[in-house]
Chains A and B, each alone.
Chain A
Amino acid sequence: MNIFQFLFKSSLGRKYIMAVTGAALVVFVIGHMVGNLSFLLGREEINAYGHFLHTKPELLWATRIGLLVMIVLHIWSAIALSAANKAARPVGYAVQKSNGSSYASRTMLMSGLIVFCFIVYHLLHFTVQAPAVNLTGKDFGTLIDSEGRRDIYSMIVLGFSRPAIAIFYMVGVGLLSLHLSHGVSSLFQSLGLRSKGYAPLINCAATVLAVVLIIGYWSIPLSVLTGLKK
């Protein structure tokens, strides 16, 4: 059995793919949040951060391609595993009980798919800057600050000025956090890194991470909606 056979064909190999890609995506989500929090510091900081990223296209594109591969593999393994899971129980129970499982753990596929839709929108909204999706009638690509850089600060303020969009973002992030509250602890289990002694710690860390992500990501649309940032 070569490594590809084992990774892509066996049930556990697919779980390893899901765990490793999931871990990589979590690292990105954390980094993305830390970078974006510079918005709270002010126009100068976030625009400088954006400028920095765009002056390093090799880094930017390596990250983008890497993320794309991770997302594709993550979703592929999710679909493959879910299909097998569905086939494993063709007839369900008349009385359904959770049997001690958490809501997050039972809804991973659904939360994952919604988050995926959210990400697609997010990319169209802020990365591709398709005017059709931002509901402001403006083209974000034309926003330039006083130093001739892309004015990311204004884009965010404008982007979240529509409450519906801000709320959609918050729901998306909420689902992402729900997904990760189970996913992070689960990835340790899938990679065999969760022992009985560390399990409570890992579970706790996953919950803390989920809460931190909510606070961090929500602070941006909330600061716009409440008028703190304009």
Chain B
Amino acid sequence: MNLTLKVWRQKNRSAAGEFATYQARDIIPDMSFLEMLDVVNEEILAQGHEPFAFDSDCREGICGACSLVINGIPHGGNKGVTACQLHMRHFHDGQTITIEPWRASAFPVDRDLITDRTAFDRIIASGGFISAHTGGAPDGNALPVSKPDADKAMDAAACIGCGACVAACKNASAMLFVAAKVSHLGLLPQGQAERYDRVVKMVETMDNEGFGNCTVTGACEAVCPKEISLEFIGRLNRDYLVGSLKK
């Protein structure tokens, strides 16, 4: 099939950007979306132009590098998958596809479709951990964890830190990301000692990084490639309330 791509091009963080239009020819349905972009980029290069830059790494939906807003939907709107796992069989011949980077002041565009998501790392660095230094851990079975708790913690821990939640949220809020980490660690007995301290610090960093606020629209949950539940945001709100009263 043949498609028309409208791709955001921007030289660097301070430059103004604009859309460029490219033709994607002879695309086959088994290609992944990123493989289709590879094909187009090869053609752009052959025509003597610089290919557009986009992030990707594992290309199997787990590293969280890929970050494309495809026709207005982060990761393209195929439920529970990242852009790298979106396949061209979900598009049709002649379609026009608009591809934009994540849009958020906390995620500045470094080039074309690539954004800087280190704000997420700084949120984790401010408290998204259990302070268990290497060595001296008790036996793994010394502290039983109920299966429902372990399962729920895993549901939250499945977050890949891609930032689609921020990209989809009309307020560019990072609440789902923060909530997932707060819930993962807060649900486990190992995480209790720092539970409230953690949530207060992470929220403070989140605010300072310039993310917006949660207005419970549910867009984050809808586009999350790991289908992290909005419920965890409720948990975050609860823990933060307790945490700030304890301070």
Q: Do A and B bind each other?
A: yes
CB interface residues, B 203-224, toward A, < 8 Å: 203-204, 206-207, 210-219, 221-223
B114 at the A interface (CB under 8 A): no
The answer to whether B234 touches A193, judged by C-beta atoms less than 8 angstroms apart, is: yes
Q: Is the interface of B mostly helix, strand, loop or mixed?
A: mixed
Give A contacts to B, CB under 8 Å: 1, 3, 6, 10-16, 81, 84-102, 105-106, 108, 182, 185-186, 188-196, 199
Which of A16, A185, A193, A196 is within 8 Å of B216, CB to CB? A185
The answer to whether B235 touches A3, judged by C-beta atoms less than 8 angstroms apart, is: no
The answer to whether A189 touches B213, judged by C-beta atoms less than 8 angstroms apart, is: no
The answer to whether B213 touches A11, judged by C-beta atoms less than 8 angstroms apart, is: yes
Asked, given contacts A13-B244, A15-B237, whether A84 binds B230 with beta carbons under 8 Å apart, the answer is no
Task: Report Cα–Cα, A93/B219, bound state, in Å.
Answer: 15
B side interface size, CB within 8 A: 53
- Closest chain B residue to A187 by CB distance? B216
User: B240 contacts which chain A residues (CB < 8 A)?
Assistant: 10, 12, 192
- Mask of B219-247 contacts with A, CB within 8 angstroms, 1/0: 10111000001110111111111001101
B103 at the A interface (CB under 8 A): yes
User: B74 contacts which chain A residues (CB < 8 A)?
Assistant: 99
The answer to whether B103 touches A101, judged by C-beta atoms less than 8 angstroms apart, is: no
User: B203 contacts which chain A residues (CB < 8 A)?
Assistant: 10-12
B106 at the A interface (CB under 8 A): yes
Can you name 21 A-B residue pairings with CB atoms under 8 Å?
A3-B245, A10-B203, A10-B204, A16-B241, A87-B105, A87-B210, A88-B211, A89-B170, A89-B171, A93-B69, A94-B6, A94-B8, A95-B100, A98-B219, A99-B72, A100-B219, A185-B216, A186-B215, A194-B231, A195-B231, A199-B230
Which of A81, A99, A193 is within 8 Å of B213, CB to CB? A81
